[in-house]
Amino acid sequence: MPSDFALKTMNRVHRTLLAMSFGKIGWSASDMPVLELHTIGRTSGQRRSVMLTSPVQDGDSLIIVASRGGDDHHPAWFLNLQANPDVHVTIRGRTTSMHARIAEGDERAALWQRVITDHTRYAGYQSKTERKIPLVVLTPNG
């Protein structure tokens, strides 16, 4: 599983690519849109941000996967949005206020099928861990 250092380094490199290309390169990866998720740290109260992909978009909603590469622990950003579901999302330089909720039951099952149909690596991540990888639905506020 990727270490915290490796994940933070990948995020730093991604942000550098976006900055050096003046936002022209880095908003897509593996045929998925890339977004920057801004949360509030659940213990620090500080603003945190992480670069993620959205394997499924449904209208104005974005679906993100709390896989952490199949690790047995949830990613920190997921724990942060559980504590405070009001987040900001930046895509292609535009920031939007959004609300995060965890997909459950039939909704999660249907979304998971859509995720793994087009992006099979997520099924591989699920096979590496006993935890049920959460799917998060981000919807615009307002």
**Average pLDDT for 121-131:** 93
CB-based contacts of 140, cutoff 8 Å, min separation 6? 60, 61, 96, 97, 98, 99
If we measure between CA atoms, which residue out of 41, 52, 67, 48 comes closest to residue 121?
67
Give pLDDT, residue 74. Answer: 93
Give pLDDT, residue 61. Answer: 96
pLDDT digits 0-9 by tens, 27-82? 566 688 899 999 999 999 999 999 999 999 999 999 999 998 888 999 999 999 99
CATH of 4-140, picked from 3.40.1360.10, 3.30.390.10, 2.30.110.10, 3.40.50.2300, is: 2.30.110.10
Cα–Cα distance, 128 to 96 (Å, whole number)? 33
CA angle 25, 71, 36 (to 5 degrees): 30
- What's the number of CA atoms in the CB half-sphere (13 Å) around residue 80? 19
Residue spans per domain, the chain: 4-140
Q: How many residues would you count in the chain?
A: 142
